[in-house]
Amino acid sequence: MGEEYAAEADRMEPEVLDALEELAGELVADLAGVGCEVARACGAQRLEGGHMALHAERKWGIQVPAQGLGMGANVGADGLAVDVAHTDRDAMAVAQQAQRERIQQAQAAAQATRDAAAQAAGRAPQ
């Protein structure tokens, strides 16, 4: 397959080849960036294909089976196959919940700071 690609690349105009290489670079950077965010939200220590699958389908229109991503079969705790897009939706829901919790914690800390400042100034807390 590598020889076929090299032969095709030799027949392409340099501008076309440059454009394709640039697009491929953008694709990889985009998928890796979003995949890393999803992996972090899942608490994963490494980036896996499933972390990128949903984004690849939605933004780039690329559907790759889990085996094609080097993940092997996705099997849940009950032994049934797990849909990669479903697990990514779950990961995004977890990430959104974690973000809501961080916002609530920041709001609570800000309120505690305001209350402490009000008490120090001799006013009633709000």
Taking residues 75-80, what's their average pLDDT? 46
Asked whether residue 126 is assigned to any structural domain, the reply reads no
Asked whether residue 87 is assigned to any structural domain, the reply reads yes
Question: What whole-number distance in Å separates Cα of residue 17 and Cα of residue 14?
Answer: 5
> Is 85 exposed, middle or buried (CB count within 10 Å of its CB: 0-12, 13-18, 19+)?
middle
Asked whether residue 90 is assigned to any structural domain, the reply reads yes
Taking residues 94-102, what's their average pLDDT? 78
Asked whether residue 125 is assigned to any structural domain, the reply reads no
Taking residues 53-75, what's their average pLDDT? 70
Q: Which domain holds residue 40?
A: 2-120
Asked whether residue 80 is assigned to any structural domain, the reply reads yes
Domain count, the chain: 1
* Higher pLDDT, residue 85 or 57: 57
Q: How confident is the model at residue 44 (pLDDT cuts 50, 70, 90)?
A: confident
